[in-house]
Amino acid sequence: MNNIFYAPSSAFIDQEIVEITGQEALHINKVLRHKIGDIILLADGDGARFEVEITDFTKRTVVAKKLTTNCEARPSKKKILALGVIKKRDRLEFAIEKAVELDAWEICLFNADHSERTKLNEERIHTQIVSAFKQSGRYWLPKLIVLNSLNEVYEHYTNSEFIMAHEETEVNKKPNSLTANQTILLVGPEGGFSNREVELNRKNGGKFVSLGKNRLRAETAATAFLSQFLFS
């Protein structure tokens, strides 16, 4: 049972029976060719993972009965990646995949002043998040938040601590651990943050941090930033 499949809480018909649909059902049935009676691992993205026994197939669904349940508590301290939209899709998707693997509670994409890409395929990004969620063995599925500007990020995440990665910050200034219940890690797109956005973070009481002496690509910066708090 190396594969973990995803079914949201809404897929549970009652406390014991789950109806798996879409690509997950297709993968179970047509790709892996599971049979009635097989036991698979299922995660609901809300902190629970189940062993379930397949009881029935239709053309588009897999029906299974819950056997065991294993839960993980909601974290007391949450880190959220707020990333200015990156122009190149492969680099944006790399950053999103690594953010899931590095335990970001949410992934917020926003149009920064230096962002060149304005349209996002949110369905594709959600699919990618689910894939990374299953691969990394997480219990909580990160949510995707899409906002129009950095201003909206501050408005959306009230009562949060903000830390902005900024190349002009002294290298020796770095955070030690997460102290707030919710910390927003701000990473700019290609070209970094504008002077306006830097001043906006300062006015909102945000902190600044260096990610080292070398200039990093946006997707590398996001990965390096999150990894500093991997055990927080």
CATH number at residue 12: 2.40.240.20
- Which of 55, 71, 87 marks a domain boundary? 71
Same domain (yes/no): 199, 121: yes
- How sure is the predictor about 174, in pLDDT bands with cuts at 50, 70 and 90? low
- Pick the more confident residue, 146 or 2: 146
Give mean pLDDT, residues 37-65.
94
Same domain (yes/no): 42, 117: no
**Would you say residue 1 has pLDDT above 90?**
no
State what percent of residues in the chain have pLDDT above 70: 94
What is the tally of structural domains in the chain?
A: 2
Same domain (yes/no): 93, 112: yes
Distance separating alpha carbons of residues 109 and 107, to the nearest angstrom: 6
Same domain (yes/no): 49, 163: no
At 213 the pLDDT is 84
Q: How far is CA 107 from CA 145, 173, 206, in A?
A: 6, 25, 18
Q: How far apart are the first and last CA of the chain?
A: 29
Instruction: Read off the pLDDT of residues 98-135 as tens digits, 9 standing for 90 and up.
Output: 999 999 999 999 999 999 876 899 999 999 999 999 99
CATH value at residue 126 = 3.40.1280.10
Residue 13 maps to a domain: yes
At 170 the pLDDT is 57
**Would you say residue 175 has pLDDT above 80?**
no
Domain extent, residue 22, equals 4-71
- Which of 52, 71, 90 marks a domain boundary? 71
Same domain (yes/no): 52, 150: no
Give mean pLDDT, residues 178-202.
93
54: left (phi over 0), alpha (psi -120 to 50) or beta: beta
Residue 189 maps to a domain: yes
- Which of 36, 52, 71 marks a domain boundary? 71
- How sure is the predictor about 230, in pLDDT bands with cuts at 50, 70 and 90? confident
Same domain (yes/no): 173, 82: yes
**Would you say residue 171 has pLDDT above 50?**
no
Same domain (yes/no): 125, 104: yes
Q: What are phi and psi of 6, to 5 degrees?
A: -115, 135
Amino acid code (one letter) for 62: V
3-state helix, strand, coil in the chain (%, to 5): 30, 30, 45
Residue 232 maps to a domain: no
For residues 83 and 95, the answer to whether their CB atoms sit within 8 Å is yes
- Pick the more confident residue, 167 or 205: 205
Residue 38 has which token pair? 């097989």
